[in-house]
Chain A
């Protein structure tokens, strides 16, 4: 994993753990770590993006009161949805990319909700309104977040893959 990816991951965790209430609008709350995972899945080699998803998910599980595996499953599902060639062929323009981030957020939310439902966690955690609004918010926020990450793309992506793109 490139050092710059680790720095970006650190920033994503800082935002997620320290600034989340400031970005929450009603029940909708963004997931900055998922935004980074989604960006990597759209622009990086599939294997690398999956490793990033697993690492980020493991770290998030370690500091969360969600059951173990909830974040690993959610981020892996999002990365898996985005790392296919059809999704990557859409990653060239801003709006389709935001739509893909929305789809990834939906996949992550569905994976987490499925695990929580299987573990009989309270349904308030995966109600349709909080999930739907968070997914929509994630898609809108991805326009800004991906735009910012584009400036650092040469440092974030592996050189071989960058040349291929």
Chain B
């Protein structure tokens, strides 16, 4: 019989428990005051910028034409278990059939898209803008620019950084310009706020200093509630197509 030599002795157990304290928590506690002050400043700046841009956004959220219905839900305190991925779990406050790719919004901003809904429980999984596999079409109304935004998995002060790809024309953006959903992809409603243009130099050292990137408008990790913007027209169309397919099969 071999003697076990790897066991941490009881006295060392407390040291091990201390080491188990998450580094994020330890550093976070020390920086708490500073972070709060920064967050308040950021919040004010974002508020004033979003007020200026609120007209098309509020139009997008108006259910006047009866196309969209907001399904409210609470964000559950779970993260995706895979490193590098970013998803939120949502508990819906009402039972509803939520199709994949439904937009998840907070106030006037896009937070992510639905990737799946449980069939038994009203629980939905939302891929956030921070996920590296997130893709979305965008438009910038003043510059008449269109293109794609790619998730990068990187964040600056909690806000997701998105990379601008496939730009329709050579455009010189200015820092702080708002970026909206395009709506032409048939997935997301038009005119939802995605984020604000900034340069790589202003948000960490992830991108070249003069490269334009988009900083998301919402810090998804801090959210406690969300709305899903259910596309009623799309749902009706899917039902009609399904009925037609089934009718064709019967014939």
List chain A positions with a Cβ less than 8 A from chain B.
13, 16-25, 27, 29, 31, 33, 60, 63-66, 70-71, 91-94, 97, 112, 121-122, 124-126, 130, 134, 144, 146-148, 150-151, 153, 163, 165
CB distance from B214 to the nearest CB of A (A): 15
Inter-chain contact B7/A151, CB cutoff 8 Å: yes
In the complex, B19 has a CB within 8 A of chain A: yes
In the complex, B167 has a CB within 8 A of chain A: no
Inter-chain contact B23/A23, CB cutoff 8 Å: yes
Given A23-B22, A23-B24, A125-B153 in contact, is the A148-B8 Cβ separation under 8 Å?
Answer: yes
Inter-chain contact A17/B22, CB cutoff 8 Å: no
Listed A/B pairs (25) with beta-carbon separation below 8 Å: A18-B78, A19-B22, A22-B22, A23-B22, A27-B84, A33-B81, A63-B78, A63-B81, A64-B80, A64-B82, A65-B131, A65-B133, A70-B82, A71-B81, A92-B2, A122-B150, A124-B132, A124-B152, A126-B84, A144-B19, A150-B4, A150-B7, A151-B8, A165-B2, A165-B4
In the complex, B79 has a CB within 8 A of chain A: yes
Q: Is the interface of A mostly helix, strand, loop or mixed?
A: helix
In the complex, B77 has a CB within 8 A of chain A: yes
In the complex, B236 has a CB within 8 A of chain A: no
12 extra interface residue pairs, beta carbon distance < 8 Å, beyond A21-B221, A22-B24, A165-B2: A17-B80, A23-B23, A92-B4, A94-B6, A112-B82, A122-B151, A124-B132, A124-B152, A125-B85, A144-B16, A148-B13, A151-B13
User: CA–CA, A130 to B85, complex, Å?
Assistant: 12
* Residues on the A chain within 8 Å of B12, using CB: 147
Q: 6 tightest A-B contacts by CB?
A: A22-B22, A124-B132, A147-B8, A22-B24, A29-B83, A150-B7
Given A23-B23, A97-B6, A148-B16 in contact, is the A65-B83 Cβ separation under 8 Å?
Answer: no
In the complex, B102 has a CB within 8 A of chain A: no
* Residues on the B chain within 8 Å of A126, using CB: 84
CB distance from B39 to the nearest CB of A (A): 16
* Residues on the B chain within 8 Å of A71, using CB: 81-82
Closest-by-CB residue of B relative to A63 is B81
Inter-chain contact A66/B2, CB cutoff 8 Å: no
Interface size class, chain B: 35 or more
Contact bitstring B132-169, A, C-beta under 8 A = 1, else 0: 11000000000000000011110000000000000000
Inter-chain contact A93/B8, CB cutoff 8 Å: no
CB distance from A16 to the nearest CB of B (A): 5
List chain B positions with a Cβ less than 8 A from chain A.
1-2, 4-8, 12-13, 16-17, 19-20, 22-25, 28, 77-85, 87, 115, 125, 127, 131-133, 150-153, 221
Q: Which of B4, B23, B125, B221 contacts A65 (CB 8 A)?
A: B125
Inter-chain contact A20/B6, CB cutoff 8 Å: no
Closest-by-CB residue of B relative to A138 is B83
The winner among A18, A121, A124 for most chain B CB atoms within 10 A is A124
User: CA–CA, A73 to B150, complex, Å?
Assistant: 27
CB distance from A41 to the nearest CB of B (A): 15
Closest-by-CB residue of A relative to B10 is A151
User: CA–CA, A17 to B88, complex, Å?
Assistant: 10
CB distance from B159 to the nearest CB of A (A): 15
Closest-by-CB residue of A relative to B17 is A148
Closest-by-CB residue of B relative to A121 is B133
* Residues on the A chain within 8 Å of B115, using CB: 65
* Residues on the B chain within 8 Å of A144, using CB: 16, 19-20
